[in-house]
Chains A and B, each alone.
Chain A
Amino acid sequence: SQTIHQWPATLVQPVGSPLSLECTVEGTSNPNLYWYRQAAGRGLQLLFYSVGIGQISSEVPQNLSASRPQDRQFILSSKKLLLSDSGFYLCAWSPGLAGNEQFFGPGTRLTVL
């Protein structure tokens, strides 16, 4: 069966510090991968998606970047965090077909102070 992991679960970082959040998927090949941010426990904002290694599409211009160095690894990064980067970050994957649902990781709670 497939599983998706995210770490760390929680993170408190000062403004201006770097960020690296990691997401890995097990039990599948060539998944579509996604990074979302959820603010105030509500709506989901798609940040990045990837349909293959090294292929990253950005949905919203921002202080963040993403990379996919391996087929089942997706990394969210920042060189300098802003207060507005605080939120709940969710990684998700889906099989490569259009009609398939997404499977979400447990999330990372990021607080920037």
Chain B
Amino acid sequence: AQSVAQPEDQVNVAEGNPLTVKCTYSVSGNPYLFWYVQYPNRGLQFLLKYITGDNLVKGSYGFEAEFNKSQTSFHLKKPSALVSDSALYFCAVRDRNSGGYQKVTFGTGTKLQVIP
């Protein structure tokens, strides 16, 4: 079984400060990991993914995430937050080694509020 946890319901950060949105995962094999962003009344937009290779993944809009296998984490980061980054962020995981079709499991989401 696979699972993903986003321990923070909401994260508040001042504009211009660095931001971190936390994600931890559990899979039986090796993971594919994803981050998505959702603006109000919109579908989810893909930000970035970890498949293999470099543990630091860079994505859209200046976001990056670091894969840490020993801590089973994939935290989303950005060096300087913008008010326009305020949205709902979802982490997702898929077990790479499962046979056949394996669905993606999404976290419950973290609301990011960037304060001007």
Interface residues in chain A, defined as those with a beta carbon under 8 Å from any beta carbon in chain B: 6, 41-44, 46, 49, 51, 57, 59, 88, 90, 92, 98-99, 101-107, 109
Interface residues in chain B, defined as those with a beta carbon under 8 Å from any beta carbon in chain A: 32, 34, 36, 40-46, 49, 51, 88, 90, 94, 96, 101-104, 106-109
Chain A residues lying within 8 Å of B41, measured Cβ to Cβ, are 88, 107, 109
Chain B residues lying within 8 Å of A104, measured Cβ to Cβ, are 36, 43-45
Q: Is the CB of B46 within 8 A of A44?
A: no
Q: Is the CB of B94 within 8 A of A106?
A: no
18 of the cross-chain contacts (CB-CB < 8 Å) are A41-B40, A41-B88, A42-B108, A43-B106, A44-B44, A49-B101, A90-B44, A98-B94, A98-B96, A101-B36, A101-B49, A104-B43, A104-B44, A104-B45, A105-B43, A106-B42, A106-B43, A107-B43
Distance between Cα atoms of A57 and B101 in the complex (Å): 10
